Structure 1
Amino acid sequence: MSDTGSGSTTSDDEVLQRNGGKYVEPGGEFTRDQRYIATRITADGRDGYPVEPGRYRLAVSRACPWANRLIIVRRLLGLEEPISMAVAGPTHDKRSWTFDLDPDGRDPVLGVERLAESYFKRFPGYDRGITVPAIVDEPTGQVVTNDYAQMSLDLSTEWTAHHRPGAPDLYPDRLRAEIDEVNALVFKDVNNGVYRCGFAGSQEAYERAYRRLFERLDWLSDRLAGQRYLVGDTITEADVRLFTTLVRFDPVYHGHFKCNRQKLTEMPVLWAYARDLFQTPGFGDTIDFDHIKRHYYEVHRDINPTGVVPLGPDLANWLTPHGREELGGRPFGDGTPPPPPPAAERVDPAHTPLG
């Protein structure tokens, strides 16, 4: 099941590759290519890739909101040991994400400099975007899937035998229809809506996207004014998907993408909700604000030709009291918070207020 309810969606790095290094289609409205590698890793292995601890490597960038979802879900469910993680740098060119954060510029497990190498090992001549997140089969070095919307659901539903004790149920059976409905609305108008503003090629397209974005944010504010989480009284997949957009709103989307009716800090309900999640183990400890800002401002050169990265905003306010406990709810339901992230996966303390 995808964000839209009818198929997967592309991330902005695919747009860059498809358009020869440019994001904005002059005079037009931003649209997303819906073609993804739909192979699934399942408990029964029906696509040829069975759930198997130690076999797969999750390739991500901390800059990317779609990859950030997988990082959070993997943390919350305690899948760090069963599924290893490769972290690409915050920037890329039109060819591929690179593993430039590693000492020799190669992922130490896959042995590749660019994620594209894993795509081409399975699909020579692959002509779509080389996107993160992606899951790679370590024995063959071949990409398995980049269908990120399904990937996060499968971590919840197919990898249950390997969840940590106390892992939350992020996609409970009784709430799936409502979660899917909320996710579809949030994707259309918010997750993708900020890109529809930022990559709009005409005033008319921008204004349509801008109105849809803030109408949906107002709707979300009304919904969350009386309940702590989006669906039910615990954290679900719906909260993960909204959070990764909200946490990027003031550092990037407000200015860079012209989503400037208000900052997140000027929307009291959503700002408190975002801080509540940020301060919840498994959320804020995955956020690298430096990587986020560098990606958008350095890579989107047709929007920000100089590549200058802003110094602000101040991040200390992410740790201020939010008061959302008064609404009740139990973040992890009958479960428990995840332990701290493995030392090798901790965000640089200089890049987060949690440092």
Structure 2
Amino acid sequence: MKILVTGGAGFIGSAVIRHIIQNTQDSVVNVDKLTYAGNLESLYKVESDPRYAFSQTDICDAKSIEQIFNEHQPDVVMHLAAESHVDRSIDGPKEFIETNIIGTYTLLEESRKYWMALEGDKKSTFKFHHISTDEVYGDLEGPEDLFTEETSYAPSSPYSASKASSDHLVRAWLRTFGLPAVVTNCSNNYGPYHFPEKLIPLMILNALEGKPLPVYGNGQQIRDWLFVEDHARALYLVATQGKVGETYNVGGHNEKANIDVVTTICQLLEELVPISSNLTIQSLPEFISGSIQSYSDLITYVKDRPGHDVRYAIDASKIERELGWKPVESFETGIRKTVLWYLNNKTWWSRVLDGSYSMERLGSGN
């Protein structure tokens, strides 16, 4: 098959592309605008493979998307392109509306026109796979409640509202126009190549540099953590075997309070890079004065985020029952792999922090 992946230079999108190229015989067309979170260096292991192609394209650009469909003739669209950081959506919602809603609309329309012109098996097997988030459901009330595929939508942030809107558009194009679509909603992802503004990589890198580890409110917000490589396997499975018209929730079965996530990272770093051997921290006045004796001493509670949801947790029994998927990594194994990856890949994250990775945009064209 040939799979068109939007947002393939992002965190989850790049994991999906690496999985496809490294574990299947399928080809991939990566369509990415290369905004701040798009990093082609996350694809260096597969970029030279003849089954991989890249186009620097905005999904809101209908003409360019049409050209990509005509040139590459994809069998499946996996739509991951999205603005995804809640804090950024609060500070500036406009880009989230444009990319997540207008971009999804544009992609749906170009997909529909392309699909309508197909014939035979090519038309009957085409699929539009929309990748979304559990944040569209809002938050849970009871400690035992879980998000299911039937849970009503109640988004809290501009980000989750824009993703909820895109979910509704996909289902409308399915029902009204017959576009063969499937939707997945996932829990919080973590793992290698994660952009440093997100909780886990931010905590790892701040700790290594002796910077404060900011925790919102009391840190008791609970999330279900999903290792990104487990998610990539699930997404490919849904794209190739999922039933048209269905929704599949993808979760990690790993509910953790934010403060427990941060504490676990501190403990792992203390084991792998003891603070007493961290030359960066040893030079800090706080270390010399004795006020910093462990990474956990860097934890700083800050004012809570507006509209911060308290608890997310996913019931992923449907995808396990119908498609045979379940996560391989526990949080304990996944977070260890993640911390080790950041320790062993300083070049990647250093180029993100100093902005030099963005030079990849120059010269990247269709």
Q: Above 0.5 in TM-score?
A: no
Greater RCO (Cα-Cα under 8 Å, separation 6 or more)? 1
* Structure that is richer in helix per residue: 2
Higher-strand-fraction structure: 2
